[in-house]
């Protein structure tokens, strides 16, 4: 089953769960990341292959 995740689009490429995001972790805090202090972006993670893609983007295997 696919699930919603949030990612940093900077150099650290952090990925957090929807629960973590809703719990208040909304911005990258990784020291030295090119997007430190910027809000994570919503993505969908494929439960079959693990690929992360934008909502609305076509995904197939």
Interval 18-37: pLDDT, tens: 999 999 999 999 999 999 99
Residue 27 placed within a domain: yes
Return the closest-CA partner of residue 21 out of 43, 1, 2: 43
* Residue at token pair 């439960």: 47
User: Residue 23: which domain range?
Assistant: 3-53
Question: Where are the alpha helices (H) located in 1-61, listed in sequence order?
Answer: 18-22
Q: Are 56 and 13 in contact (CB under 8 A)?
A: no
For the chain, the domain total comes to: 1
Share of the chain above pLDDT 90, in %: 97
Is 60 within a domain? no
Residue 61 in any domain: the answer is no
pTM: 0.92
The mean predicted confidence, pLDDT, of the chain is 97
Q: Tell me whether residue 35 is in a domain.
A: yes
Through-space distance between the first and last CA atoms of the chain, rounded to whole angstroms: 14
Predicted pLDDT at 21: 98
> What average pLDDT does the segment 34-56 reach?
97
Q: How far apart are CA 26 and CA 50, in angstroms?
A: 22
């Amino acid at each position: 089953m696919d699930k919603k995740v949030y990612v940093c689009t900077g150099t650290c490429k952090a990925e957090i769960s929807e629960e973590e995001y809703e719990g208040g972790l909304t911005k990258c805090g990784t020291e030295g990341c090119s997007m430190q202090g910027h809000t994570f972006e919503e993505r969908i993670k494929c439960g079959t292959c693990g690929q992360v893609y934008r909502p609305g983007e076509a995904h197939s295997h």
